[in-house]
Every structure is written in structure tokens, then in C-alpha cells.
Amino acid sequence: MPLIEIHLLEGRTDEQKKALLAAVTAAVHDSIGAPLESIRVWVQEFSPREYMIAGVLAADRKAPKTP
């Protein structure tokens, strides 16, 4: 039984998370032939105040500039 946990910062919509979970499920099924009924995939979300990137809290990082 494949068990896949995905870690993400909060902020994605329910639709985005559903699409991600479905795509990962399909990828596991297609790549190793696991029966769909046996595949478990879930998302663990983190607050930007609880996750650090290169020594800086994600909440304190500046948003990337768009061209």
C-alpha cells in the first residue's frame, strides 16, 4: 500500500489540492502499477509562521516580483 505525504505551505485552494492529490495518485498507479484502491495520499499544510527557508520564516520572506 503506497503512502504518500505532501508537505505544503498554506495558501492553495481546495481545488488545487484536489488536483494535486489526483495527479499524484495517478502517477503512483501509472509508475508502479499499484491498484488505485491501495494508494493513500494526503497533504500536510504548514503556516508560513511555522516554516523556515534558508534561516528566514516563510512569513517574513518578500513575495517574488512579477515582470
54: left (phi over 0), alpha (psi -120 to 50) or beta: left
Interval 18-66: pLDDT, tens: 999 999 999 999 999 999 999 999 999 999 999 999 999 999 997 666 6
Distance CA 64, CA 35 (A): 40
Q: What is the pTM of this model?
A: 0.82
What are residue 41's DSSP bridge partners? 4
What is the domain partition of the chain in residue ranges? 3-60
C-alpha cell read off for 64: 517574488
Distance CA 66, CA 13 (A): 21
Interval 5-18: pLDDT, tens: 999 999 999 999 99
Respond yes or no: is residue 2 known to be catalytic.
yes
**4 near 40, Cβ under 8 Å?**
yes
C-alpha cell read off for 23: 495527479
Fold of 3-60: Macrophage Migration Inhibitory Factor (3.30.429)
Which candidate in 2, 35, 64, 67 is catalytic?
2
